[in-house]
Structure 1
Amino acid sequence: MAAFISSQKTEYGIDHITSCRALGVSQSGFYKWKNRIGRGAPTARQHRRADLDAEITRLFKASGGTYGSPRITRDLHEAGWRVSENTVAARMAELGLAGRKPRKPRSLTRQGKRPAAPDLVRRKFTAVAPDVLWCGDVTQIDTDEGRLYLATVEDLFSRRLLG
């Protein structure tokens, strides 16, 4: 933008004050650009962003391309960087880096190749005497070591677990 403002003076004789006002740019920003060494030399923010991008890319490759912004942010904090998770997510999006999405948990109740078992109870869960009507259930419990399955058998008359 500042280069465009500067070119208006040389090409059309329009001073920078008028150009800044017309484009809604602060004059101090134009002067900061004009007085910068080498005109267009990177600022401290641009240096930090380039260093951050390099570190994010390194950590992403070190994870095998699986880490997302929360884990990358945690690793950056451990390395001494002060950066937010949102900033890391934005930088990763701009760099085209995307972590592995968590898998959708599989359900135990999805239809399989075999037909469903017949409903022998006919949805009537009241029994007239003990040991006449039993029902069972399977529950999946996720643990740190893997999945566990809890299978139960219940007597519907006494409502006690049999096994």
Structure 2
Amino acid sequence: MDDNRAQVGVEPIIRVLATTSAKIALSTYYAHKSRPESARSLRDRKITRALRRIFDDNYSCYGARKLWAEINREGACGHVARCTVERLMAADGLVGIRRRQKRPSTRSADAEQCPVDLVDRDFCVTAPDMLWVADITYSQVLLSGVFAFR
């Protein structure tokens, strides 16, 4: 704001906000500007520098779990919670290498290899046990050795 004071100053913005339901005093901006930085933001900056250093020293591979273990092993920043490491990593854009996802063990067959649809996708029946649809490779249903099909 200070750089563009001639075009967009604090006073004109406060005057516009005064016409709305948000009542903000002009002194609020100046109080915020002169307020010292909080202890949390100072500690966060220190931890972020340490996380960035550890991350870069380890070929940008470490994720939150390993960074958390390493920063606590060093002890320079005191005890750091894992959720704090995750939050600061996200804020700083640090992302570790992820393990490859497992591929599914089965895949659908091609359309030309699928068997003919014996029930014509008509699942309406007039009485019980007129039509059973199951994949016999997975289903182990045996009713006295008799399967009821249409």
Q: TM-score range by the shorter chain?
A: 0.3 to 0.5
**What TM-score do the two structures reach when normalised by structure 2?**
0.46
Q: Which structure would you say has the larger RCO, counting Cα contacts within 8 Å and 6 or more residues apart?
A: 2
Question: Comparing both structures, which one devotes a greater share of its residues to strand?
Answer: 1
